[in-house]
C-alpha cells in the first residue's frame, strides 16, 4: 500500500477529520457505479444499504446529466459535523448541526461526501440525487435555464401557489405576496434556482422508483407537475428502460 492510501479498516479507526483533508486521501478499494463514477464507504454497508444509498439512484440518473456533472467520487461517511473550524467527518453522532451532503469540486473530479448514518438508506439516496441536481444547476446552458424560467413565469402568472417541495414553496412565497416582481430580481433568481434543483431531484427520484404524488394547496397540481417532468425529460432524457410516468399515467 502506498503512502497516503487508506484501507477500509484503517479509515474505520479514524474518529474525525476535516472534510477538506478527508477528500485528499487515496481510497482503496474503490467500487465502480453507473456512469464510471466511483464509490467508497468508510463504514460497512449491507448489500441492501449500498444499493439503496448509491447504486440504484446512480443508475436512474440520466446519462445526459451524468455527462454534464463529469467525473464523480461518492464517499460515504457516518456523519458530517458543522464546527466553527469547518466541516468534519466524524464517526459518532455529534451534537449541533450536521450536513447530509457536502462536495468539493476539483479540476479532475468532484468529491461528494454523503452522511449515511443520520438518515435511512432511501433518504441518503435522495440526498445523493439532490446533490447531483444542484451540481447540474450550475452547469445549465443559457437555453436550458431560460426554458425552465419561462415555465416558472407561466406558473406564477396563472397563480399556482404550490411548489415541488417545502424549500421551493418557501422561496416562492415572497413573489406571490408582491403585486409586481422582476424576473431578473434576486428573489426570483433565488426561487428559480431552488425550484430547478428540487424539480430535477424529484424527476430523478421518479425515475429511480415509483413515488406518491402529494396533493394539497402547498403542492403543484398534477397537470403542472407533469409539465415540469416532461420538460426535464426533454432536456435530459431517461436512460433506456426508465420511464418518467408509469404506463397508467402516460395519458
Same domain for 75 and 165? Answer: no
Residue 225, sorted as left (phi over 0), alpha (psi -120 to 50) or beta, turns out to be alpha
Q: Is 3 a residue whose pLDDT tops 50?
A: no
Q: What is the pLDDT of residues 174-211, one digit of tens each?
A: 887 765 566 778 899 999 999 999 999 999 999 999 98
List the grid coordinates of 228.
Answer: 415540469
Prediction pTM value: 0.90
* Helix 186-208 with 222-235: angle, nearest 10 deg: 80
Average pLDDT score over residue span 96-102:
93
Contact 110, 104 (CB under 8 A): yes
Q: Do 52 and 95 belong together in one domain?
A: yes
174 φ, ψ to 5°?
-60, -30
Same-domain status, 125 and 166: no
Q: Are residues 47 and 29 part of one domain?
A: yes
CA 205, CA 186: separation in Å to the nearest integer?
28
Rounded distance, CA 166 to CA 150, Å?
21
Query: Same domain for 165 and 216?
Result: yes
* pLDDT at 11 > cutoff 60: no
- CB count in 10 Å sphere of residue 85: 7
Q: Are 41 and 49 in contact (CB under 8 A)?
A: no
Q: Does 169 score more than 70 pLDDT?
A: yes
Residue 14 has pLDDT above 90, yes or no: no
**Distance (Å, rounded) from C-alpha 168 to C-alpha 100?**
18
% of the chain exceeding 70 in pLDDT: 90
pLDDT of the residue at 215: 85
The number of distinct structural domains making up the chain is 2
Q: What are phi and psi of 34, to 5 degrees?
A: -55, 155
212 band by pLDDT with thresholds 50, 70 and 90:
confident
Is 16 in the same domain as 111? Answer: yes
Angstrom distance (rounded) from CA 214 to CA 166:
12
Per the CB < 8 A criterion, the answer to whether 223 and 154 are in contact is no
Q: Which candidate, 206, 107, 188, 109, places its Cα nearest to that of 145?
A: 188
Q: Does residue 13 have a pLDDT over 50?
A: no
Q: What pLDDT is attached to residue 1? A: 38
Q: Classify 51 as helix, strand or coil.
A: helix
| Boundary residue ending a domain (117, 137, 157) | 137
Are 132 and 149 members of one domain? Answer: no
Please tell me whether residues 148 and 131 are part of one structural domain. Answer: no
Q: Are residues 88 and 201 in the same domain?
A: no
Helix, strand and coil percent figures for the chain, each rounded to 5: 45, 20, 35
Structural domain of 40: 5-137
Do 127 and 22 have their domain in common? Answer: yes
Q: What is the mean pLDDT of residues 8-14?
A: 44
pLDDT in tens, 40-93: 999 999 999 999 999 999 999 999 999 999 999 999 999 999 988 889 999 999
Amino acid at each position: 500500500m502506498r503512502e497516503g492510501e487508506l484501507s477500509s479498516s484503517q479509515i474505520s479507526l479514524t474518529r474525525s477529520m476535516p472534510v477538506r483533508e478527508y477528500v485528499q486521501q487515496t481510497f482503496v478499494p474503490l467500487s465502480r457505479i453507473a456512469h464510471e463514477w466511483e464509490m467508497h464507504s468508510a463504514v460497512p454497508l449491507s448489500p441492501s444499504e449500498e444499493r439503496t444509498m448509491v447504486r440504484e439512484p446512480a443508475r436512474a440518473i440520466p446519462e445526459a446529466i451524468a455527462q454534464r456533472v463529469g467525473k464523480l467520487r461518492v464517499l460515504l461517511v457516518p456523519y458530517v459535523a458543522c464546527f466553527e473550524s469547518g466541516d468534519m467527518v466524524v464517526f459518532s453522532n455529534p451534537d449541533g448541526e450536521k450536513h447530509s451532503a457536502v462536495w468539493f469540486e476539483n479540476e479532475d473530479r468532484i468529491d461528494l461526501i454523503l452522511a449515511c448514518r443520520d438518515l435511512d438508506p432511501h433518504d441518503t439516496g435522495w440526498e445523493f440525487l439532490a446533490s447531483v441536481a444542484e451540481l447540474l444547476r450550475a452547469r445549465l446552458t443559457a437555453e436550458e435555464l431560460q426554458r425552465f424560467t419561462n415555465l416558472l413565469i407561466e406558473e406564477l402568472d396563472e397563480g399556482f401557489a404550490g411548489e415541488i417541495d417545502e424549500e421551493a414553496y418557501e422561496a416562492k412565497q415572497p413573489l406571490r405576496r408582491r403585486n409586481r416582481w422582476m424576473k431578473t430580481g434576486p428573489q426570483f433568481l433565488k426561487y428559480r434556482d431552488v425550484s430547478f434543483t428540487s424539480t430535477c431531484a424529484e424527476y430523478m427520484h421518479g425515475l429511480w422508483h415509483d413515488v406518491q404524488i402529494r396533493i394539497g394547496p402547498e403542492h403543484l397540481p398534477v397537470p403542472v407537475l407533469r409539465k415540469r417532468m416532461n420538460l426535464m425529460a426533454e432536456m435530459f432524457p431517461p436512460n433506456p428502460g426508465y420511464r418518467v410516468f408509469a404506463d397508467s399515467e402516460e395519458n
